[in-house]
Amino acid sequence: MNKSERPHGSGLMNSKKLPPTVIVLGFVSFFNDFASDIVIPLIPILLATVLAAGPIALGFIEGVAEAIASFLKLWSGRHSDVMNGRRKGLTLTGYSLSNIARPLLGLAGSWFTLLVLRSIDRVGKGLRSAPRDALVADATPSHMRGYAYGFHRAMDNGGAVAGGLAAAAVLAWSDLSLTEVILWSAVPGFIAVLFVGVGIKEDKAQVVQQPVVLPPLSWTVLSKPMRRYLLVLALFTFARVSETFILLLGHQLGVGVVELLLLWSALNFCKAITATWGGQLADLLGSRIIMLVGWVAFALTFLMLSQVTESTELWWAVIFYGLFTGLSEGAERARISDYAKTGEHGTAFGWYHLVIGISAIPAGLIFGLIWHYQNAGAAFLFACGLSALAAILLRFWAHTPAK
């Protein structure tokens, strides 16, 4: 049994203490997602109502935005390794850019303008994601990285809960328009940027050192186990399309805007309450086991969504989806850190985000086209089949890290 699959002893789940950097980055993610999830669940509603666009436009916007960001994620992760682990600057720049562009989405007058602003938002994510994930890996002992990433995902999803509830409350109990609600997302976004600027401390000794020399940035340089794992993740990404499609499904079923925001908050609450526990289980039982459980549950959820005909059924499917998605999120990132060589955490996470991102355009477009030319049920069945296939390949084809 290799290191990534080996239990690390009893009692660890109660005795681990997270490093300060991980805790600060958790609060950064909380407030950033607070801001983001005031806005993101409103995008399909804006498209369907104000901008008169449908599932193909939604799939194209989400796919293009994520793909643009993905190439930056590889560059930024690699650059943070080359600069000897100095990752704060890229992380700060990325969060700042996103939280400048995102509130402006409320002013979009067409789906093309929304695409441009959403892409700028994702450029910020592209700059920050790999360096931030590498900061977590750098600060955390290998035996508790599942816990660290699980905690980070819990805070991230907790912020999404707060953002969705805040948007729902404002729309229900005030006279503010969708545009005004989106503009107010700048407030928690500023707090997130402030946490990065003040709370993340870099080792001054690193700043004076020269850039390091790393192996060529080539797919073939990656180990065979990591290449297989990333290819399986790419396939799974074709199933794991944007969760905003769930909201579009609810909108088509006649669910109101406030209830859709509450549904979004419930989804992220379920992910938040299982994320830290799932990360700890990944440390104890092995990351692949937890990922398999999550991916199989994902397939079952999309099977459920393909059969949904009313809002009550949609709520049950979303709750099930959220609980098991949260369980496996930390394990997925912890597994990447298992593959990474010393000093190359940024590069490893850059490849991880790149592979997922370049799969996003065809994934979103294919899902949207199936929805448009067939129906929502056919699109979710397609995703169900792909996620089941990805789980089978993860179990029987993707090797474990040679560590």
User: Is the CA virtual torsion 144, 348, 216, 21 positive or negative?
Assistant: negative
> According to the model, what pLDDT value does residue 5 have?
44
* CB neighbours of residue 310 within 10 Å: 10
Q: Stretch 253-262: mean pLDDT, rounded?
A: 84
> According to the model, what pLDDT value does residue 403 have?
42
Does the pLDDT at position 3 exceed 70? no
> According to the model, what pLDDT value does residue 99 have?
92
> According to the model, what pLDDT value does residue 315 have?
94
Does the pLDDT at position 90 exceed 80? yes
Best CA proximity match to 143, nearest among 15, 21, 328: 15
Mean pLDDT, all residues of the chain? 80
Does the pLDDT at position 304 exceed 60? yes
**Which range among 25-34, 46-55, 307-316, 357-366 shows the weakest confidence by mean pLDDT?**
46-55
- Domain 18-209+218-396 coded CATH 3.30.360.10: no
Spatial separation of the C-alpha atoms in residues 345 and 5, rounded to whole Å: 19
Spatial separation of the C-alpha atoms in residues 68 and 154, rounded to whole Å: 26
- What is the per-residue pLDDT across 185-205, written as a single tens digit (0 to 9) for each? 999 999 999 999 998 887 654
Does the pLDDT at position 332 exceed 60? yes
Does the pLDDT at position 4 exceed 50? no
* Winning range, highest mean pLDDT, from 6-20, 256-270, 324-338: 256-270
